[in-house]
Amino acid sequence: MFVSKKLFRPNSEWVRYRDKTWIQSRKRIYLYWFKYLKHAEENPDYKVQWNKYKPWGGKQVIMNSKFDDWWEKYWKDCFGIDEKTGRSKFMITKRHKADGVRYSLLCYENRHRGSTWDIAIYIQKLETKRRHAVPTFMNAIEGLETKTYLTTGKKRERVFDEESSTNYKYVTQEVADEYDYEKWLNAQDKKLVQRYVSRYLKQSKTHLENVSKGKF
């Protein structure tokens, strides 16, 4: 009885990398996985399950290797898609946007810079020199003027009144403190940038937790 052979159909999102072998994602996603794994090992808040990384060469190999050197030796065995099963030994559990993972990694690596605003300013300068500006940090400008306020309401004040037996009286006035609308807009832009940094830092925590468990 003739049995037709099932054809291998690569996922449309996969990358045909080398030696006619497909990998699930672009190489730099694996770079970020590798870097996060090192950070997780160096951070006492995380405990890496190294038994899950034996096919990667184990703890000593990973912690003492540069990514490109390590990749050349292990990429095919760890991440190459098997045409029979349509899977690799290490599958990426979700579709990642490479830049988003990069920015979360940079925020984590530069968390010592100070506030979320300080982190954004530093990364924006760094990325502008290396590659291109971070879209979500476009307003991370050193020296951005944001100190402004808007106060409205009523104010009761004692004033001189020669017709009064006490020579003064109380009057109520509408007040509106002056403010700079452009600076107010700057303040809103700054808050938005700070929220993005907080979000990236939250994402970095998730990545650290996941790589500690052998997944990304």
Residue pair 109/123 in contact (Cβ under 8 Å)? The answer is no
At 156 the three-state DSSP class reads strand
- Inside any domain, residue 163: no
With respect to residue 50, please indicate whether it lies within any of the assigned structural domains: yes
8 vs 186, more confident = 186
Q: What is the pLDDT of residues 131-153, one digit of tens each?
A: 999 999 999 999 999 876 655 56
Is 181 contained in some domain? Answer: no
Cα separations in angstroms, 163 against 7, 127, 172, 173, 198:
103, 70, 18, 20, 62
Q: What does the pLDDT look like over 72-90, one tens digit per residue? A: 999 999 999 999 999 999 9
pLDDT tens across 192-212, in order?
999 999 999 999 999 999 999
pLDDT of 161 reads 76
Per the structure, the complete domain to which residue 109 belongs is given by: 15-142+191-212
> How many Å from the N-terminal Cα to the C-terminal Cα in the chain?
43
151 in a structural domain: no
Residue 150 lies in a domain: no
Torsion angle of C-alpha atoms 125, 129, 135, 140, degrees rounded to 10: 10
In a domain, 97, yes or no: yes
Helix (H) or strand (E) holding 193: helix 181-212
- Angstrom CA distances, 69 to 10, 62, 72, 101, stand at 27, 10, 6, 22
Confidence of residue 14 (pLDDT cuts 50, 70, 90): confident
Q: Which structure tokens are listed for 64?
A: 């003492």
Domain-located, residue 159: no
Residue 2's pLDDT band (boundaries 50, 70, 90)? very low
Query: Tell me, what's the pLDDT at 165?
Result: 77
pLDDT at 15 over 60: yes
Q: How far apart are CA 29 and CA 189, in angstroms?
A: 30
Query: Is residue 154 a part of any domain in this protein?
Result: no
pLDDT band at 3 (very low <50, low <70, confident <90, very high): very low
- Helix-, strand-, coil-residue percentages of the chain, each rounded to 5: 50, 15, 40
Domain count, the chain: 1
